[in-house]
Amino acid sequence: MNFDLDTYGAFIGSNKIYLNNASSSLIPLKSIKAMTDFIIQYNESGPDSIDFGVNLAERYNQLRQTISKLIRCRPEEVILTQSTTEGINTVAGGLSFPKNSNIVIRGTTHEHHSNYYPWLRLAKSVELRSVPNDTNGFFEISEFEKQLDENTRLVSLSHALYNTGAIMPVEQIGKILEEKNIPYFLDAAQTVGGIGDYDFSRTKCSFMAFNGYKWLCGPMGIGIFYCKKDSANLLEPAQIGGESAMIYDNDKIAYKDIPDKFQAGFRNYPAIVGLETSVSYLLHLGLDNIRKKVISLANLFRDEIVKIPDVTLYGPEDQERRTSIVPFSIGKKLPQEVVEQLEKRGIVLAVREISDTKIVRAAPHFFNTETDILKTVDAIKKL
């Protein structure tokens, strides 16, 4: 699957091969231009003018409409944040926990810090239960169900893992939790935009968070917190201001409806424009087309990297059970040194970990090419 990238313009004027898209991706030139044009208009109209206020409201609405199409939800269920981490903490800090409550998570040291530390902090007053998992991060549904009881206040899962790329059985879990009426949080940072045209409503999650600067190719500093309308009353906002609440009877506070309830204060307005432009562009290309391209590149990388002596490849073999993330290690070579040496050669990968094991992570996106993959493998051979 090839794309015409003339309008994308990735790395113009640079010869780097960028394969760290599971961390932050490249921004299309058209998105950069849209943000630049917006900032110019911001000054020309006057930041706090009536004209600009109307424009800003339209931009907010446009992004919410685009994201609602992307994940299959109502526009008002789309809350703008700065990151996945902020969305996770909105739930961790806003949910009430009666006496003897417990939270069920998939893993501890195998989990991304952002979807572990907020729950770990709550362990001072709430029981934290972890589902046993294998080296890829998968778990048995029966083992998961054993962790649930009448005091389970929340289940938190990553949709796909940042280290092995394994895609979790989130739809099966969603059905179980819906029947038990247990709130369900999903960290979708590694799946939105990267696993095809996926209907996230099938997960039946109550809350979901993801950022705009990984697979969605948006700018840094913007994320999305999805809050199911029926679940909004479960959360107390972490912040409050004139945008999110109002006064009645002189001294009583009432929260506004979502999305305003969770959006006190201003937002990163240029990033709103940039993300909407990028997501619209990806939707135009076709998310299923993007998925075919990235998994093809990941498979090529896996096939070629294992030919190198002493290479250990991690993650699921079945492409239907993983993203385009390719984790590997090379004998006794330190992953940090591997990444540093490759970057000196103009190739950008990342160091991550699978529990206590440090690994090198490659993560191709649709603008990468087979040539990028083969050049990277060749450079690894020469280390």
Task: For residue 23, give every residue at least 6 positions away whose Cβ sits within 8 Å of its Cβ, in sequence order, or none.
Answer: 214, 350, 363
**Which amino acid, 371?**
T
Q: How confident is the model at residue 6 (pLDDT cuts 50, 70, 90)?
A: low
Helical H runs in 95-136?
Answer: 117-122
CB 367 within 8 A of CB 20: no
Written as six digits, the tokens of 8 are 């994308």
**What pLDDT was estimated at residue 300?**
98
Name the architecture of domain 30-283. 3-Layer(aba) Sandwich (3.40)
296 class by beta-carbon count within 10 Å (0-12 exposed, 13-18 middle, 19+ buried): middle
**What pLDDT was estimated at residue 249?**
82
Residues 80, 273: Cα–Cα separation, whole Å: 12
Mean local confidence (pLDDT), 275-284? 96
Written as six digits, the tokens of 23 are 């961390």
**What pLDDT was estimated at residue 4?**
58
**What pLDDT was estimated at residue 193?**
97
Give CA separation, 149 vs 102, 159, 197, 272, 300, in Å: 9, 22, 34, 41, 44
**What pLDDT was estimated at residue 266?**
83
* Max CA distance (Å), the chain: 74
| Annotated domain spans of the chain | 17-27+286-381, 30-283
**11 pLDDT more than 50:** no
pLDDT tens-digit series, residues 192-220: 999 999 999 999 999 999 999 999 999 99
CATH class of domain segment(s) 17-27+286-381? alpha beta
pLDDT tens-digit series, residues 154-194: 999 999 999 999 999 999 999 999 999 999 999 999 999 99
**Distance of alpha carbon 110 from the chain centroid:** 17
Written as six digits, the tokens of 254 are 């009432």
Mean local confidence (pLDDT), 28-37? 94
pLDDT tens-digit series, residues 128-148: 999 999 999 999 999 999 999
Q: How confident is the model at residue 271 (pLDDT cuts 50, 70, 90)?
A: very high
User: Percent of the chain beyond pLDDT 70?
Assistant: 96
Mean local confidence (pLDDT), 277-293? 96
**What pLDDT was estimated at residue 14?**
63
Mean local confidence (pLDDT), 315-327? 97
